Amino acid sequence: MAALVRNDDRIILHLDYDCFYASVFEVEQPALRSLPLAVQQKHIVVTCNYEARRRGLHKLQLIKDAKRICPDVVIVLGEDLTKFRNASKELYLLVRSFVWGGRVEKLGFDELFLDVTEMIDYNAGVLNRNDLTNSYFHLDRNDPTVGFSYDATRFQGSTFPATEAAAQNDSSSLEMRLLVASHLQGHIRSKIEHQIGFTATGGISTSKLLAKLVGNVHKPNGQTTLLPPYTATENNTSNVFQFLDDHEIRKIPGIGSRIAEKLKSHIIGKESVGEKITVKDVRQFSGMSPSLLERILGGPGSVKGIGMRMWNILHGVDSSEVLEGRDVPTQISIEDSYGRLDTLESVRRELVVLSRSLIRRVRTDLLDMSDDTAPQGRWRAHPRTLRLSTRPRLPADLGTRRAYSSNRISRSAPLPPFIFNLDENIDALAVRLVRESVFPMFRKLHPEKAGWNLSLLNVAVTNMVETAGDQKRSSGRDIGKMFQQQETVLKDWTVQEPEPSFANPQLPDSPEIESQSDDGWDDDEPWSVDCPICGVSIPHFAQLAHQIYHGDHESQPSIIRQP
């Protein structure tokens, strides 16, 4: 067996807010908590609360089907992500305030990873072994009055495997450190609920992979700790293997649908549509090794070293770091998808709408309003680059199903400094930005006046440069002065791009083909693909689930495709 390097020195927490979109509305209107609630984007249910799920609703249903199944469902529109983004940031800042060093990584709107190793080691080290029942967790090393009392003989929440036994009286053991961490997790979850009104599900382990997976065991509003031993010995089996073995491989973070299908085909030896295999099936398959995984999964376009990477994942080994939180985003991105967008005037109109939202987001995310010397606010950072991305819809094939593409084409240019003018109205700025920058970029991407049809538009600002300030990651420069001489300043930032060529999108002189990235702040959930069966726009992360939905409803009448 290939050597595995497991690092069990870290203590990682995972938080997943329950039914986040629905919860945002429930916090605003508490009366909705007892009603079946569904959040609508486009014409599908993107999420629903647990009362709605109890009545038969689920994600990715068409709105018309949801109303038929549950006539009294309360449907709220969720296409404007502003309130979700604001709630997510409020929760993030609250959680980060508890963690020493700010080691909190944001994943989308509703998930956080916390590296609390330093806090746990300190608090495990000051435990009074003679009276563990009356222990005290120190949230501030320098102020002993800041913290909470807890019972260090019992885990808070659930464990895997389930246990009622008291923890070992050894403060340095992994089990004791995980126990202390379970109480910190419980404290943070309690603060989230009582201070802001959200419930969250949590997982506690030694890596992001295991913490995320074990947190799914008791949902909603629960938490689970994965107990040691994590490594198999002559006398003990590994709890990591016991936990992972029954997981279907597609449920494991890091194993996407393509990788899962390749593994299934190799393990089962035939087309595996509809069949499932578990982590145990793959790991214990005859001759399984990193080299065999490399042969199965490698090839053009695959990640370098994918065999060893998958080998580690199948054994629950994950050394990825929890990234320290940023005070400013690396980019700000606004996008929307469309059933049909094929005229210049409609494109211009939509670009103004997107640009208006973009400028509003730039002011919200990058203006520091706490500086009393600057009544209008002080810029924490200036983005240097403006980017426009589109996703052309492929022509319909000869069959009955609509063809689609998940690829985007993009073009970048220097961001005009006038968008930082706080004296000018946002609507006027948006019109000017489209007229002078965004629409000219669009015409270079799509020089033909007709004959194209777009399913998505995205406008973004990137390449942030932080201004001088108190942030430890700031560059120390007053970038405001850099915008006084636009022609001089921007000449080094100019992005030299070739004219677009559509004869072969892979040629060097073609526009950049890129996918939406997510650094934890760029949280717009893209509607990236039209379902080839029913034509519904589906978020990129939900494609597989939507296909399964169609598979479960093959016997039902066909869904009418949207124009």
Same domain assignment for residues 288 and 188: no
Greater confidence, 299 or 73?
A: 73
| Other beta carbons within 10 Å of 462 | 18
With bands split at pLDDT 50, 70 and 90, how would you rate the model's confidence at 370? confident
CB within 8 Å of 235: residues ≥ 6 apart: none
Residue after which a domain boundary falls, among 438, 466, 494:
466
Give whichever of 325-329, 349-353, 539-543 has the largest mean pLDDT. 349-353
| Residue 503, domain member (yes or no) | no
With bands split at pLDDT 50, 70 and 90, how would you rate the model's confidence at 406? low
C-alpha 26/C-alpha 34 separation (Å) is 9
Same domain assignment for residues 72 and 196: yes
What pLDDT, on a 0 to 100 scale, did the predictor assign at position 118? 96
Answer yes or no: is pLDDT of 497 > 80: no
Same domain assignment for residues 297 and 182: no
What pLDDT, on a 0 to 100 scale, did the predictor assign at position 538? 52
Mean pLDDT of 478-487: 42
Mean pLDDT of 495-518: 32
| Residue 474, domain member (yes or no) | no
| Residue 539, domain member (yes or no) | no
Same domain assignment for residues 58 and 205: yes
Of the listed ranges 159-168, 449-458, 549-558, the one predicted with least confidence: 549-558
| Residue 40, domain member (yes or no) | yes
Answer yes or no: is pLDDT of 490 > 60: no
| Residue with tokens 């320290």, as numbered in its chain | 324
Answer yes or no: is pLDDT of 536 > 90: no
CB within 8 Å of 530: residues ≥ 6 apart: 393, 402, 404, 455, 536, 537, 538
Same domain assignment for residues 254 and 337: no
How many domains, the chain? Answer: 3
Same domain assignment for residues 223 and 370: no
Mean pLDDT of 19-28: 96
Same domain assignment for residues 158 and 34: yes
Question: Percent of the chain beyond pLDDT 90?
Answer: 60
Residue after which a domain boundary falls, among 418, 444, 466:
466
Same domain assignment for residues 227 and 281: no
Answer yes or no: is pLDDT of 516 > 50: no
Residue 50 CA, distance from chain mean position: 22
Question: 329 is written with which tokens?
Answer: 């985003």
What pLDDT, on a 0 to 100 scale, did the predictor assign at position 399? 47
| Residue 298, domain member (yes or no) | yes
Q: What is the mean pLDDT of the chain?
A: 82
What pLDDT, on a 0 to 100 scale, did the predictor assign at position 529? 47
User: Tell me, what amino acid is at 76?
Assistant: V
| Residue 345, domain member (yes or no) | yes
Print the SS3 string covering 55-103.
CCCCCCCEHHHHHHHCCCCEEEECCCCHHHHHHHHHHHHHHHCCCHHHC
C-alpha 35/C-alpha 72 separation (Å) is 9
What pLDDT, on a 0 to 100 scale, did the predictor assign at position 400? 42
What pLDDT, on a 0 to 100 scale, did the predictor assign at position 551? 53
| Residue 453, domain member (yes or no) | yes
Greater confidence, 537 or 458?
A: 458
Which residues span the domain enclosing 387? 331-466
Residue after which a domain boundary falls, among 445, 466, 487:
466
Answer yes or no: is pLDDT of 510 > 80: no
Same domain assignment for residues 63 and 193: yes
Greater confidence, 82 or 410?
A: 410
Answer yes or no: is pLDDT of 442 > 80: yes
Q: How far is CA 150 from CA 186, 328, 477, in A?
A: 10, 36, 47
CB within 8 Å of 276: residues ≥ 6 apart: 248, 250, 264
**Per-residue pLDDT tens digits for 253-290:** 989 888 988 999 899 876 555 678 999 999 999 999 99
What pLDDT, on a 0 to 100 scale, did the predictor assign at position 304? 85
Same domain assignment for residues 269 and 204: no
Same domain assignment for residues 125 and 166: yes
CB within 8 Å of 231: residues ≥ 6 apart: 6, 238, 240
User: What is the pTM assigned to this prediction?
Assistant: 0.74
CA proximity to 210, closest of 188, 227, 185? 227
319 SS3 class: coil
Half-sphere exposure (Cβ direction) of 203: Cα atoms closer than 13 Å: 22
**Per-residue pLDDT tens digits for 116-155:** 999 999 999 999 989 999 999 999 999 999 999 999 999 9
C-alpha 75/C-alpha 53 separation (Å) is 13
Answer yes or no: is pLDDT of 552 > 70: no
| Residue 560, domain member (yes or no) | no
What pLDDT, on a 0 to 100 scale, did the predictor assign at position 116? 98
Same domain assignment for residues 414 and 340: yes
What pLDDT, on a 0 to 100 scale, did the predictor assign at position 167? 63
